[in-house]
Amino acid sequence: MTDAKTIAITGTRKGIGLFLAETFLERGWTGGGCSRGAGDLGHPNYSHFELDVSDERAVVKMMQSVRRTHGGLDALLNNAGIASMNHALLTPGATMERVFQTNVFGTFLFCREAAKLMGRKKFGRIVNFATVATPLKLEGEAVYAASKAAVVSLTEVLAREVAEMGITVNAVGPTPVPTDLVGAVPEEKMTALIARQAINRYGTMEDVLNVCDFFLSERSDFVTGQTIYLGGV
Amino acid sequence: MKNAVAEMNMSLEADKQISDDLDAVLFGDGSTLDSIGLVNVVMAVEAHVADETGEDMVLASEAAMSRKRSPYRSLRALAEYAVEISGESDAAA
């Protein structure tokens, strides 16, 4: 693995975000994370920020604080996300607003503020979070899949806009990983979904970490604008 | 502003240096800056303003972009724009 660096991770209160934060801290990285509520992760090299990722002012303050505390930013993992699983005809507009605010607006604001910090050092790695729900066109996930399609599109265009600043922007598309996000989905639905993958098993947090490690590697400086879906989707 | 320009000039070639004259053309006809260069200046100014005043501000906005007299035309205009929006940042913070 590369030398210790500074990283920002969104959605670190639980699930994959917490796992990623713990992993990078164990490796000696420093940085900040955020969630809407207080975080349990107490580590001397970690600062937690309680914020809504779609709150532009709060995101700017967090990233400036990370810059002051850690002297810059090398990597961003835009993990924070919410899902909505419901038939489209039963989905209120307010749900769509909430999902897009977190998944699309939040991802964009963090990319923008992170790229500003990274651009000053001519180096940066941004990893956004997509989902297999988009290429699998999962029924019941119209809003969630559409929001993550927007994330893929943002990833592809941003990759071109910040390439000459030495910043890469990629996305990882996890299959279902047993976390709260998929907890409410009936078992038979999950089985049917997993049957559509080339490799028929649940994803693990280590699978997600593996792709992040690839994108974050200094050797991946010629890899940008890509989305890697897990499980052979 | 001048600190941000000094930081920018460290990474710019001799013929692309930016003037730290407050009234020199920063962006537009007669400027050596391309659009990415302007992005870099704005990023550096935001960071220096944050360091020197403690205020985190975003100097790019739709309102700024659509003004007849661009706040990016000179360092003085950018400084005046920063002062103008600093109250808004306080209100939102």
Provide, as residue numbers in chain A, all residues whose Cβ is less than 8 Å from the Cβ of B37.
none
ipTM of the complex: 0.73
d(CA B29, nearest CA chain A) in Å: 23
Gap between the Cα atoms of A13 and A19, Å rounded? 9
Task: Give the contacts of A84 (CB within 8 A, at least 6 positions apart).
Answer: A91, A95, A96, A98, A99, A141, A143, A144
Task: Tell whether the torsion through CA atoms of A152, A157, A16 and A23 is positive or negative.
Answer: positive
* B3 in contact with A, Cβ within 8 Å: no
> Given an 8 Å threshold on Cβ–Cβ distance, is B58 in contact with A56?
yes
What is the model's pTM? 0.89
What b/e string do you get for A1-25 counting C-beta neighbours within 10 Å, with b at 16 or more? eeeebbbbbbbbbbbbbbbbbebbb
A78 contacts A10 by C-beta, under 8 angstroms: yes
Q: What is the pLDDT of residues B20-47, one digit of tens each?
A: 888 988 888 888 888 888 888 888 898 8
Q: Is A60 on the interface with B (CB under 8 A)?
A: yes
Rg (chain B; Cα; Å): 13
- Which residues of B fall within a CB distance of 8 Å from A164? 36
In order along its 233 residues, chain A shows pLDDT tens digits of 456 799 999 999 999 999 999 999 999 999 999 999 998 899 999 999 999 999 999 999 999 999 989 889 999 999 999 998 899 999 999 999 999 999 999 999 999 999 999 998 899 999 999 999 999 999 999 999 999 999 999 999 999 999 999 999 999 999 988 876 676 778 888 888 999 999 999 999 999 999 999 999 999 999 999 999 999 99
pLDDT of residue A1: 45
How many CA atoms lie less than 13 Å away from B76 in the CB half-sphere?
Answer: 6
- Strands A6-10, A124-129: pairing kind: unpaired
